[in-house]
């Protein structure tokens, strides 16, 4: 009896969440995902970014980018499992992650390297973590460029194939994070494990949980 009531309550809670998610619009997602940038701007303006603000900005943008990319990968398994349909927001998450990667890359190019081209070429050819980051970034460019209805229509059955590149891009981003320091950092290891688990989920047939 108690179990039955509990199940009904959880189900009605999920119904409520599903109804709220149905009311969400893409622009709500775009605006919400700008919040980390607002926090970063606030920290910068209030002098809370420590002794090397440029480095803090670079790091913060990189971490935000990789976590939004991870959220993008979570959307399909989460929606299938819970019936809370976030799939129509995948584009917003993917594009916002790309937006943060562009800002991360621009910070490196303009503030860190200050457009010193010899040093830039040297980093791009000699520093393995930069090479991996750059490869991840390059793979994401065609995905961002084709994340629109027109390209979906034009590419037809090739569109989903092309967008599988997201898995390679996020693995490269994860390796880039792992290789950042001379010794492996816990947060980079945890991030990489999350990425591998999410990619492995693709090989399982996920079904909605009965009582949801
Ligand atoms: C898929 C693309 C990328 C992702 C997901 C990504 C993500 C990250 C993450 C998570 C960090 C670690 C921040 C920390 O230490 O806490 C980072 C750091 C860094 N990234 Fe990227 N990144 C990408 C592409 C790039 C590219 C293209 C460049 C430049 C060519 C770049 C340059 C850097 C630099 C220089 C740092 C080190 C900051 C520092 O600790 O001094 N990244 N990135």
pLDDT in tens, the chain (212 residues): 556 666 668 888 888 999 999 999 999 999 999 999 999 999 999 999 999 999 999 999 999 999 999 999 999 999 999 999 999 999 999 999 999 999 999 999 999 999 999 999 999 999 999 999 999 999 999 999 999 999 999 999 999 999 999 999 999 999 999 999 889 999 999 999 999 999 999 888 888 777 67
Instruction: List, as one string, the DSSP characters of 105-171.
Output: HHIIIIIISTT-HHHHHHHHHH-HHHHHHHHHHHHHHHHHHT-SHHHHHHHTTHHHHHTTHHHHHHH
- Residue whose Cα lies nearest atom 10 of ligand 1: it is 63
Minimum-distance ligand 1 atom for the alpha carbon of 187: 16
pLDDT of 207 reads 81
Nearest-atom index, ligand 1, CA of 139: 1
Determine the distance separating the centroid of ligand 1 and the alpha carbon of 86, expressed in angstroms. 28
Instruction: Output the CA 74–ligand 1 centroid distance in Å.
Output: 21
Best mutation site among 96, 104, 195 for ligand 1, i.e. most ligand atoms within 8 A of its Cβ? 104
Residue 2, pLDDT score: 59
Query: Is 171 within 8 Å of 197 (Cβ atoms)?
Result: no
94 lines ligand 1 (CB under 6 A): no
| Ligand 1 neighbour 61 (Cβ under 6 A) | no
36 neighbors 64 (Cβ within 8 angstroms): yes
Residue 9 pLDDT: 82
Tell me the pTM. Answer: 0.93
- Check if 174 has its Cβ closer than 6 Å to any atom of ligand 1: no
Q: How close are the terminal C-alpha atoms of the chain, in Å?
A: 18
Closest residue CA from atom 43 of ligand 1: 62
Both tokens of 61, joined, read 């943008």
- Distance, CA 2 to ligand 1 centroid (Å)? 50
Q: What is the dihedral of CA 59, 64, 66, 72, to 10 degrees?
A: -170
Q: Is the minimum distance from the CB of 70 to ligand 1 under 6 angstroms?
A: no
pLDDT at 179: 97
Backbone dihedral region for residue 162 (phi beyond 0: left; psi -120 to 50: alpha; all else: beta):
alpha
Nearest atom in ligand 1 to 185's CA = 15
């Amino acid at each position: 009896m108690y179990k039955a009531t509990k199940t009904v309550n959880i189900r009605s809670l999920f119904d409520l969440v599903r109804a709220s998610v149905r009311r969400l619009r893409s622009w709500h997602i775009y605006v919400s995902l700008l919040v980390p940038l607002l926090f970063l701007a606030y920290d910068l303006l209030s002098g809370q970014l420590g002794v090397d603000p440029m480095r803090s900005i670079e790091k913060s943008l990189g971490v935000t980018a990789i976590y939004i990319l991870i959220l993008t990968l979570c959307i399909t398994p989460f929606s299938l499992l819970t019936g809370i349909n976030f799939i129509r927001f995948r584009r917003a998450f993917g594009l916002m992650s790309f937006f943060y990667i562009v800002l991360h890359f621009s910070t490196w190019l303009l503030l860190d390297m200050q457009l010193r081209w010899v040093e830039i070429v040297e980093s791009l050819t000699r520093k393995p973590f930069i090479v991996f980051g750059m490869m991840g970034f390059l793979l994401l460019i065609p995905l961002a460029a084709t994340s629109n209805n027109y390209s979906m229509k034009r590419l037809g059955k090739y569109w989903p194939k092309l967008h599988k590149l997201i898995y390679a891009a996020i693995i490269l981003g994860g390796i880039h994070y792992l290789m950042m320091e001379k010794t492996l950092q816990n947060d980079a290891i945890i991030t990489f494990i999350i990425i591998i688990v999410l990619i492995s989920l693709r090989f399982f047939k996920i079904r909605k949980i009965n009582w949801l």
